[in-house]
Amino acid sequence: MKLVLSSSPHQHVRRRTNQVMRLVIYAMVPGVMAQLYFFGWGVLVQMLIALATALVSESAIVALRKRQIGQALQDYSAVVTALLLAVSLPPLLPWWMTVIGTFFAIAVVKQLYGGLGFNLFNPAMAAYVMLLISFPAAMSSWLPPGELAAHAVTFGDVISVIFTGFSQSGYDINQLRAGIDGVTMATPLDYVKTQVSQGYTYSEAINHQQFTDSLWSSASLGWSAVALAYLLGGLVLIQQRIISWHIPVSLIAGVAVTATFLAMINGDVYGSALFHCVNGAVLFGAFFIATDPVSASTTPRGRLIFGAAIGFWTVIIRTFGGYPDAIAFSVVIMNMAVPLIDYYTQPKVYGQQRPVKQTEGEP
């Protein structure tokens, strides 16, 4: 009798790549819900546009590369990339920008590097950076959180603005951005940055209608809630062992330490650690972006370094750079450093005195 041969091990834990990806998508649900609540239907529309673009781009490129389309789509990696990008974009971004960004993420950043597992950069963040540099005004045009908005934006308005540039009532995006006081509203980070640059102190800056006047005085309305919703999803991911704790913890610690250090130097100019953590994309980035396994560091020590460095760069760029938020920039910067980090943080192998740092080339 002829027997069938296979290689050991003959047993596998039953969690496959697509299950991992699906779990990531599920973990995004609380954050997306919060975004829908505070920023309207735009998020959902952007997600759909990005998803469609991602699937089409992925299929096209995979077909060009003569690979199996079905297998490529089944791993859900393109879906995750599309969703991560979509939730990062301003809800009323013109549709074609989302399409360009998603296509760039899938086709250029991922597939041109060899597909899943081979991309050097985080696709969603690389695309976000590309869009931010190309269309800085549009990429900064966030609506004020619902409670503070002067104009109620209906689902029909959202569709209309995204695809035509004007709402059904004829308002354009800048008009829609006006707050209840009639002033065009910037994002909290942008607002504080502008105020501080105009000579106001940090505490004066956060004494604004955008910021809650509760214990969380430095937390902004809406934005902080969204951030905390993503934190919740992230904790689920850790609990499910989809991601390890290393990167989120070290990233948040990196932000906190850098921010505290700066605040200690001059608390009037630099925001507190809490301000930096709950505003902007730090929590979202810590759990959903920086933990992208493909482009992150893979060794335990390396992950700590990777996360902490992203946190550091985020605060530095937010404070001294030209953009209000900097998670995308920081992640892309540290993606470049990953091979180096991985090489120098190899764990000590059993029976070795210390990890071998071999020099290039055989002696």
Residues making contact with another protein (CB under 8 A): 1-17, 19-20, 71, 75, 77, 115-118, 244, 293-296, 298-300, 342, 346-352, 356, 358, 362
> Three-state SS for 142?
coil
Shortest distance, position 49 Cβ to another protein, whole Å = 25
CB 95 within 8 A of CB 40: no
Nearer to another protein, 175 or 244 (CB): 244
Nearer to another protein, 19 or 174 (CB): 19
Alpha-carbon distances of 243 from 17, 116, 285, rounded to whole Å: 13, 17, 13
Task: Give the C-alpha separation, 4 to 1, whole Å.
Answer: 10
User: Distance from CA of residue 82 to its chain's centroid?
Assistant: 11
Give Cβ neighbours of residue 265 (< 8 Å, ≥ 6 apart). Answer: none
Nearer to another protein, 117 or 156 (CB): 117
φ, ψ (nearest 5 deg) of residue 172:
-95, 180
Task: Give the C-alpha separation, 282 to 136, whole Å.
Answer: 20
Give Cβ neighbours of residue 229 (< 8 Å, ≥ 6 apart). Answer: 30, 31, 33, 34, 35
Shortest distance, position 24 Cβ to another protein, whole Å = 11
Which residues are paired to 172 by β-bridges? 166
Nearer to another protein, 90 or 302 (CB): 302
Nearer to another protein, 81 or 279 (CB): 81
Nearer to another protein, 93 or 294 (CB): 294
Shortest distance, position 126 Cβ to another protein, whole Å = 16
Nearer to another protein, 7 or 198 (CB): 7
Shortest distance, position 346 Cβ to another protein, whole Å = 6
In DSSP notation, 64-124 reads HTT--HHHHHHT-HHHHHHHHHHHHS-TT--HHHHHHHHHIIIIIIIGGGTSTTT-SS-HH
Shortest distance, position 246 Cβ to another protein, whole Å = 10
Shortest distance, position 101 Cβ to another protein, whole Å = 22
Shortest distance, position 60 Cβ to another protein, whole Å = 18
